[in-house]
Amino acid sequence: MSMIEFHDVNKYYGKFKALKNINLTIERGEVVTIIGPSGSGKSTLLRTINGLELISSGQLLVDNHDLADPKTDMNRIRKNVGMVFQHFNLYANKTILQNITLGPEKVLKVPHVKAAEDAERLLGLVGLLDQAHKLPSMLSGGQKQRIAIARALAMHPKAILFDEPTSALDPEVIGDVLDVMKKVAEQGMTMIVVTHEMGFAKEVGNRLLFMADGEIREDSNDPREFFRAPQDERAQEFLGKILHVD
């Protein structure tokens, strides 16, 4: 039973086709990174998985539930699939601890004491135990993103989606966030990560998708090999560009 299955999925924004004939199966425990030029549909693909965007045609199965089926409870899917955003989106009106406990308490109905215990464990995991009672506005970007990961983990999801989790961060704190993501990967979490961090894609990812123009142009089970010798022409061009910039 696969975690996520796309069958001939298309997605339109008005007349614009943002996803073209996507066929993709992701198994439990896979760490999939998605790279590709701006506007290639990476975020759109990710956001269809937890229903923040709806697909226009085809079939999308998440944890064996058909997202196009009106009987599917989207809230139940979202309980099982966490998401980490580029701009963190921590709840501005809640403390760090409450950011982590709110979902478990209100959605999973975990008693407050137990949710707080679990939150403390997670704060320890992301190395921010001392920040529990601050408001998000008092934290740095890198700290906020680690809290956002803890918030996602607190729901004990079956998969976590990351949309450019380090793109809004200062270079010196990117490593802290990537370290946390690596720990999460090592615990066997299914992860789908849109990123520009080629190091993470190579070292932590065990599968890599290259997207261009709404299509998956290359799907590699050996990210190192992909970076050494990309097959797709657009991928070669893309890697050529970013390697020059670096």
Partner 1 sequence: MISILTAHWSELVEGMKYTIGSSLIALIGSLILGIIFAMFVISPNRWLRIIGSVYVEIFRNIPLLVVAMFFYIVMPRFVPGLDGFKAGTIGLTIYTSAFIAETFRAGIESVAVGQMEAARSNGMTYLQAMKYIILPQATKIVIPPLGNQFVNLVKNSSVLAFLAGFDLMYQGNLIASTTFKTTDTYLAVGLLYLVMTMPLSYLMRYLEKRWSRLPTV
Ligand X SMILES: Nc1ncnc2c1ncn2[C@@H]1O[C@H](COP(=O)(O)OP(=O)(O)OP(=O)(O)O)[C@@H](O)[C@H]1O
Which residues would be at the binding site for ligand X (CB under 6 A)? 13, 16, 18, 36, 38-44
- Judged by beta carbon distances under 5 to 8 A according to partner kind, the member of ligand X, partner 1, Mg ion, none in contact with residue 39 is ligand X
Give the nearer residue to partner 1 in terms of CB position, either 90 or 239. Answer: 90
Q: Are 134 and 98 in contact (CB under 8 A)?
A: no
List phi, psi (to 5°) of 117: -60, -45
- Judged by beta carbon distances under 5 to 8 A according to partner kind, the member of ligand X, Mg ion, partner 1, none in contact with residue 205 is none
Q: What separation in angstroms does the CA of 38 have from each of 46, 132, 164, 184, 212?
A: 14, 36, 12, 27, 9
For the bound state, the minimum distance from the C-beta of residue 60 to partner 1, rounded and expressed in Å, comes to 16
Instruction: Report the candidate in 46, 60, 57 with the shortest Cα–Cα distance to residue 5.
Output: 60
User: Among all residues, whose Cβ is closest to Mg ion?
Assistant: 43
Please tell me whether residue 120 binds partner 1 under the rule CB under 8 A. no
Q: Are 168 and 141 in contact (CB under 8 A)?
A: yes
For the bound state, the minimum distance from the C-beta of residue 87 to partner 1, rounded and expressed in Å, comes to 6
In Å, how far from its chain's centre is CA 21? 21
- Cα dihedral 135, 141, 144, 149, rounded to 10, equals 170
Please tell me whether residue 137 binds partner 1 under the rule CB under 8 A. yes
- Judged by beta carbon distances under 5 to 8 A according to partner kind, the member of ligand X, Mg ion, partner 1, none in contact with residue 24 is none
For the bound state, the minimum distance from the C-beta of residue 232 to partner 1, rounded and expressed in Å, comes to 31
Please tell me whether residue 85 binds partner 1 under the rule CB under 8 A. yes
The residue behind tokens 């790279």 is: 35
Contact positions toward partner 1, by CB under 8 A?
Answer: 50, 52, 75, 78-79, 81-83, 85, 87, 89-94, 102-103, 106-108, 135-137, 148, 151-152, 155
